[in-house]
C-alpha cells in the first residue's frame, strides 16, 4: 500500500494565522502516524517573501508541535530544477514568451478565470521571440488540452471526481519575469518530486488544481489525490487572510491560546467538508 505523504506549504509573506493552523493540522492528521508529513517553504516571490517571516513561521510551527518528517525544502533553492522543467515544455512548444505588461493583460483580458485572475487575451501567441525584451512564459493552454484530449479530472479524498476547468484559465504564466518560475509550475513539480500522495489545501486553491492536473499530465507526473478543506472564517464570514490583517498565531499565543487548544479548534473547522458545487462533480 502506498504510504500517505502530505505537505503543508506556506509562503513567508506574513505571519501565520489560524487559517494556516487549519491547513497544517489537516495535512498532519491525514498523514497520521504511519504516513509522512512534509513542510515546504514556498518562497519564490522575491518581493513578498521575507526571511523574518520564514524564521517566524518555523518558530510558530515548532510551538504548534507540527514537525516535518523530512528536511524542509525551500523553493528558492530549487530554481534550476523548475527551469529544467520549463525547458522541457519549451522544447515541446507548449509555452511561449509574452512581453505584455500587467496593464496590457488587464486591458485585453478575455474575462476572468475560475480563480479570479484575468484570462490572457493572447496577443503574444505566435509572435517571434525577442529575448532582450522582458518577458514571461505562458502555457499554450489550447495546445496543451488538444494534446491531452481535454482537461484531466481529479479525485478528491472524499471520493468525488471533479471536472477540470483549465480551458477557462487560458494561457497561465509558468515563468515569471523576476525569477523565471511561477506558483503553478513549482507546486506541481514539488508535489511530484517529493512523492506527495495527498495534496491537502484550503478550498481557496480548489480551482488552481485544474491547471496543476494539466501540468501533471503533460509532464508525466503521477496523479495525487486532493483534499481541499473548508476555510476558517472571521466573524463576518470572510476567509482569514494575511492581507486583511488576520490575527497572527504569535498574537494568539501571547493572548493565552495554547497549541493544543488551537489544534482542537482547527479540527472543529475540519469537521465540515468543503462544499463542492454539484456541476463540478463528474460522478453526480
Taking the complex as a whole, the smallest distance from the CB of residue 27 to ligand GLU amounts, in Å, to: 9
Q: Minimum Å distance from CB 9 to ligand GLU?
A: 4
Which residue is listed with cell 505566435? 126
Nearer to ligand GLU, 105 or 187 (CB): 187
Cell, residue 116: 479570479
What is the x/- site pattern for ligand GLU, positions 151-190, by CB under 6 A?
A: ------------------------------------x---
Q: Which is nearer to ligand GLU, 20 or 280 (CB)?
A: 20
Q: Which is nearer to ligand GLU, 203 or 205 (CB)?
A: 205
| Residues 6 or more apart in contact with residue 232 via CB below 8 angstroms | 18, 19, 21, 22, 239, 240, 266, 269
d(CA 107, CA 196): 38
- Nearer to ligand GLU by Cβ, of 75 and 100: the residue is 75
Q: How many other CB atoms sit within 10 Å of the CB of residue 273?
A: 14
Among 10, 19, 97, 151, which residue interacts with ligand GLU (rule: CB under 6 A)? 10
CB 272 within 8 A of CB 27: no
Find, among 220, 181, 176, 192, the residue nearest to 83 by Cα: 181
Q: Which is nearer to ligand GLU, 16 or 98 (CB)?
A: 16
Residue whose CB is less far from ligand GLU, 42 or 54 = 42
Complex with ligand GLU: residue 11 or 76, whichever CB lies closer: 11
The stretch among 4-12, 83-91, 103-111, 112-120 that binds ligand GLU (CB under 6 A) is 4-12
Q: Which residue has the cell 494568539?
A: 252
CB 71, CB 105: distance < 8 Å = no
The DSSP code sequence of 162-218 is E---GGGG-S-EEE-TTTS--HHHHHHHHHHHTT-SEEEEEGGGTTHHHHHHHHHHH
Q: Does 201 bind ligand GLU (CB under 6 A)?
A: yes
Q: Which residue has the cell 489537516?
A: 26
Residue choice 5, 6, 9, 18 for contact with ligand GLU (CB under 6 A): 9
Smallest gap from residue 283 Cβ to ligand GLU (A): 24
Q: Which of residues 24-83 bind ligand GLU (CB under 6 A)?
A: 42
Least Å from the CB of residue 96 to ligand GLU: 25
For 80, phi then psi, to 5°, come to -60, -35
Residues contributing to the site for ligand GLU (CB under 6 A): 9-11, 42, 187, 201, 205
Amino acid at each position: 500500500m502506498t504510504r500517505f505523504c502530505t505537505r503543508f506549504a506556506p509562503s513567508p509573506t506574513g505571519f501565520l494565522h489560524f487559517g494556516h493552523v487549519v491547513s497544517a493540522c489537516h495535512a498532519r492528521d491525514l498523514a497520521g502516524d504511519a504516513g509522512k508529513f512534509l513542510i515546504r517553504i514556498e518562497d519564490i516571490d522575491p518581493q513578498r517573501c521575507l526571511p523574518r517571516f520564514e524564521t517566524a513561521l518555523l518558530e510558530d510551527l515548532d510551538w504548534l508541535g507540527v514537525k516535518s518528517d523530512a528536511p524542509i525544502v525551500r523553493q528558492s533553492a530549487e530554481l534550476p530544477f523548475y527551469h529544467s522543467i520549463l525547458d522541457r515544455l519549451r522544447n515541446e512548444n507548449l509555452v511561449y514568451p509574452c512581453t505584455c505588461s500587467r496593464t496590457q493583460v488587464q486591458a485585453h483580458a478575455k474575462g476572468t478565470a475560475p480563480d479570479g485572475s484575468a484570462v490572457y487575451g493572447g496577443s503574444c501567441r505566435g509572435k517571434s521571440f525577442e529575448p532582450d525584451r522582458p518577458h514571461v512564459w505562458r502555457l499554450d493552454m489550447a495546445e496543451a488540452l488538444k494534446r491531452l484530449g481535454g482537461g484531466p479530472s481529479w479525485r478528491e479524498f472524499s471520493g468525488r471526481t471533479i471536472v477540470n476547468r483549465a480551458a477557462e484559465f487560458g494561457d497561465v504564466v509558468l515563468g515569471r519575469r523576476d525569477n523565471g518560475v511561477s506558483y503553478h509550475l513549482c507546486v506541481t513539480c514539488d508535489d511530484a518530486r517529493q512523492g506527495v500522495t495527498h495534496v491537502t489545501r484550503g478550498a481557496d486553491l480548489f480551482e488552481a488544481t485544474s491547471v496543476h492536473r494539466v501540468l501533471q499530465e503533460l509532464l508525466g507526473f503521477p496523479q495525487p489525490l486532493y483534499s481541499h478543506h473548508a476555510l476558517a472564517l472571521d466573524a463576518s464570514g470572510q476567509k482569514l487572510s494575511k492581507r486583511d490583517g488576520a490575527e497572527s498565531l504569535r498574537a494568539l499565543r501571547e493572548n493565552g491560546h495554547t497549541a493544543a487548544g488551537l489544534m482542537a479548534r482547527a479540527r472543529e473547522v475540519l469537521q465540515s467538508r468543503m462544499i463542492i458545487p454539484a456541476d463540478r462533480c463528474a460522478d453526480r
